[in-house]
Structure 1
Amino acid sequence: MKPMIRKIVRELQLLLLLGILFVFAMFQGGFVSWFLFYSMLPIIFYMLFIPFYPIHHWKIDRKVSDRYLETGGNIEVTITIRRKSPFPMFYLVLEEVLPETLQFQDVGKKKYQYLSDRQSYNRKRHVKKVIYPGFQKEFTIHYRIEHLPRGKHHLSDINLRIGDPFGFVECKYLFSAAKEFFVYPAIQDLKWKQQSMSLEEGTTSSHIHDEKLTNVVSGVREYIPGDRFSWIDWKTTARKNTVMTKEFEQEKDSSIVVILDVGGLQQSQRLVFEAVVEWTASILQSLRKKDQSISFYTFGKSERFFSNQQLQFQFPAVQNYLSTVKQEQVSLAERMVTPMKELSRGSVILFVIHHLDELLVERLSNWKKQDYTLVVCYVIPEKQLDAKEEQYIRSLRLKNISVQTVTEKQLMQEQWEVQASR
């Protein structure tokens, strides 16, 4: 109601101005007075028409340069506007308030130097563009969103506004032009340096080690280009009169289960959680490349599970999930009352966590008693790694549970490493 009243008041003011000019010309007379009246006449009529211009009949189309991106990337947004009549427009203002999910900026690994700072990740974004369409019936507006944060982002409403050159009257309308895109967690180059298990443990070949096992010889074979000089079996070579190399026993290990901690909303540190998700995504991708048998769990209000087959052949579905996963008001320890039935004896279980307390230490110790090999990657800011946290870590290591603390130093490295120690 108020906008309509405001429009009527403006229209009456313009009519009053027109009346004053006419009266002035009538009483003053002369060329100058009538010239002023007639020169202002089209401008005032134009201004009278603007508030009632049918801007809502315009057709708006939005396009984005890509629907699937990685954190820290940029996206180009193109908005095309079409109208039927070439009504003259002195200017057009486009305004868009971006969704809450985009009120952050991701500058790659550099962001982790402020791991404990709750505000460094925030960035208020607002799009405002001004163009001068004139008589054009179709025109486009481009803008760019940089340093995209992880998430599923919805671009929805666009506010368009036109007006007279003096800013006296205007016409605006809110258009809906929905478009969504996904920003996946960045996959970092990761080096796996976990110590190997027993040779007879498990049923699948180990692919998580960087060096070939060269201390247990299982046989000999003919030389293949690429074999090391130290692998040559000289005795067999002399006997058979052809170059023979040693064949080594391949290590065995159990399948690896990666568990992501999505709890701890009450102690929410968004940047720490982003590091946890990125670390998890990099581990999963690293193990996939090595054809390791893996599965992936998250313990939130509801349990989420991805099988080895999904991880190997449907990894985009996992990336989709990791792009949208959020912290929840749950505790990982409370969800770990008993080990999962799906886990086989001897499995390597890798936890990626961002919170450690006495109850979680107890739960992890109980799981260790079930004949699992536990590895914990604990993401924590350096200044929060106090005596209490160190005590929790020592308690786990004393129970033969591997623990790696991941601080700003590790996250800023060129190549990440999983190097748990006991």
Structure 2
Amino acid sequence: MKIKWKMKTWMKIVLLFITLGIVFSYAMFQGGFVSWFLFYSFTPFALYALLVAFYPMSDFKVERTFNGDSYSVGDKLEITISLERKVPFPLFFFVIQNDTTITEKSEELILYPWFKRGISVIYTVENLHRGEHIFGDITIKSGDFLGLILKNRVIRDSKTILVYPSYIDMVYRSIESRYEQGASASQIRLQNDSTMVTGVREYQPGDRFTWIDWKSTAKKNEMQTKEFEERQSHDISIVLDRTPSKSFESMVKFSASLIRTIIRHGGQIGIYSVGKEHSIFPIRGGEEHQHQLFYHLARVKADSNTPVYTILDGDKAFYQQAAAIMIVTSTLSQSLLDSSHKFTKRTGSVVIFVIKENGERVTHEENALHDQALRNGTYVRFLYDEGFRSALLGVKQR
């Protein structure tokens, strides 16, 4: 590529000398004021183009900096491109091309440095969108007045910024044993504290073998099981529906709000995210875990071909954890309700948050499914952006 560019430059230089020679020959043979005026007028431009051709673009040192280290949706990004050089050669114009995925087209800036040794330019990108944005090569271009010589240089300076999802401070209420809605409720799974024995009872199918009280069994001649103190499980596992949807950004925002609220109040939470990349984050708490979850939400895409209900049906990991499952989706379907009801009967609780865009109405079919879900013990709530803050207020103690 460099050899081809050098050949092209030398061809232009040769063409420049030929043009200058033609103009000089015309002045010599034609004579007169006009022909010599044409020669003397063209000569400075030709000489300047010749100097530009031999001016090394490597003389420039280019640096790109940003106005921060962390960004959220809606923030303003300021990008500063600084150029410094040793030789103050007069450059009529200077073009900086900034390759980036943050805008649809590459940014091009036109400067007029002339004799300046150093120059900086700042441009802003308003209202950042969530995601991973890559800033690639910086290309600098310059040339002469007439466009006879055009030079460029590509600076390898790849950088990446992450724009994290925005969030809303929710009104927090710890997750107790029931989600009440009308006459129906959804049971939240309880955990047994095996260190606190409170009594014995008759053996029931599903009790662990290690819970059997052999002394009581021998006395009563019936299988007896130890009873333990029950403690409430406030652990949450979010299942994020990543099938393409116009509400996906709102779903990510709601998930981020849920994560931040629960962790800030001492709870533990995890994410189950299935798309082209299969990501499972265990249920944990703390600032570091929140950062990991937000990092995933910053990069996550609606690229799944797997309906969300198949996750509950197909992954046994859900049946091995004492946690409430919160599904964040944009569509309520019969298949999703069937899977949720099956999960509720076998293991624990399922809560479905159906996120809608402002102006999008809940369909008659979704209302019917909502009533059916309540009868089956599954809590369903339709949410718009303005309702995110109070999303957890439906959680009440039994």
The interval holding the TM-score normalised by the smaller chain is: 0.7 to 0.9
Greater mean deviation of Cα atoms: 154-163 or 25-34: 25-34
Q: Which residue of 2 aligns with 1:340?
A: 317
Correspondence list, 1:277-288, <5 A: 277-288=252-263
Correspondence list, 1:295-306, <5 A: 295-300=270-275, 301-306=277-282
1:316 to 2:291 alignment: yes
CA distance in 1, matches of 2:331, 2:348: 21
Matched residue type, 1:330:
T
1:358 to 2:358 alignment: no
1:396 to 2:398 alignment: no
CA distance in 1, matches of 2:288, 2:8: 60
Structure 2 unpaired stretches of 5+? 179-187, 193-230
Matched residue type, 2:339:
R
CA distance in 2, matches of 1:81, 1:8: 27
Q: In the alignment, is the contact (CA less than 8 A) between 1:94 and 1:160 conserved in 2? A: yes
CA distance in 2, matches of 1:72, 1:391: 37
Matched residue type, 2:100:
L
Q: Deviation at 1:420?
A: 4.8
Q: Deviation at 1:314?
A: 3.7
Q: In the alignment, is the contact (CA less than 8 A) between 1:83 and 1:138 conserved in 2? A: yes
TM-score, length-scaled by structure 2 = 0.75
Which one of the candidate residues 46, 64, 67 is aligned to 1:65?
Answer: 67
Q: What secondary structure, in the 3-state scheme, does the structure 2 residue paired with 1:321 have?
A: helix
Q: Which residue of 1 aligns with 2:227?
A: none
CA distance in 1, matches of 2:28, 2:22: 10
Q: Which residue of 2 aligns with 1:129?
A: 109
Q: In the alignment, is the contact (CA less than 8 A) between 1:190 and 1:286 conserved in 2? A: yes
Matched residue type, 1:388:
E
Correspondence list, 1:94-133, <5 A: 94-99=96-101, 102-103=102-103, 124-133=104-113
Q: Aligned-residue CA RMSD in angstroms?
A: 3.4
Matched residue type, 1:411:
D
CA distance in 2, matches of 1:9, 1:148: 45
CA distance in 1, matches of 2:64, 2:318: 48
CA distance in 1, matches of 2:111, 2:169: 44
1:418 to 2:372 alignment: no
Structure 1 unpaired stretches of 5+? 104-123, 205-251
Which one of the candidate residues 148, 154, 161 is aligned to 2:134?
Answer: 154
| 1:267-293 Cα distance to aligned partner (Å, 9 max, x none) | x23x41111111011011111222234
Q: Which residue of 1 aligns with 2:242?
A: 263
Q: How many residues align?
A: 345
CA distance in 1, matches of 2:122, 2:87: 23
Q: Deviation at 1:369?
A: 0.5
Q: In the alignment, is the contact (CA less than 8 A) between 2:238 and 2:269 conserved in 1? A: no
Q: In the alignment, is the contact (CA less than 8 A) between 2:251 and 2:330 conserved in 1? A: yes
CA distance in 1, matches of 2:279, 2:29: 85
CA distance in 2, matches of 1:253, 1:66: 42
Q: Deviation at 1:148?
A: 0.8
Please identify runs of 4+ aligned residues in structure 1 that moved more than 6 A.
none
Q: What secondary structure, in the 3-state scheme, does the structure 2 residue paired with 1:417 have?
A: helix
Identity of aligned residues (%): 24
Q: Which residue of 2 aligns with 1:245?
A: none
Matched residue type, 2:57:
I
Given the superposition, is the C-alpha separation of residues 377 and 254 from structure 1 closer, same or farther in structure 2, using an over 3 Å criterion?
A: same
Which one of the candidate residues 68, 83, 88 is aligned to 2:85?
Answer: 83
Matched residue type, 2:378:
I
Matched residue type, 1:55:
M
Greater mean deviation of Cα atoms: 152-161 or 26-35: 26-35
Given the superposition, is the C-alpha separation of residues 44 and 322 from structure 1 closer, same or farther in structure 2, using an over 3 Å criterion?
A: same
Q: What secondary structure, in the 3-state scheme, does the structure 1 residue paired with 2:346 have?
A: coil
Matched residue type, 2:20:
L
Q: In the alignment, is the contact (CA less than 8 A) between 2:241 and 2:327 conserved in 1? A: no
Given the superposition, is the C-alpha separation of residues 377 and 194 from structure 1 closer, same or farther in structure 2, using an over 3 Å criterion?
A: farther
Q: In the alignment, is the contact (CA less than 8 A) between 1:403 and 1:420 conserved in 2? A: no
Q: In the alignment, is the contact (CA less than 8 A) between 1:156 and 1:177 conserved in 2? A: yes
Matched residue type, 1:359:
S
Q: Deviation at 1:57?
A: 5.2
Q: Which residue of 2 aligns with 1:164?
A: 144
1:22 to 2:24 alignment: yes
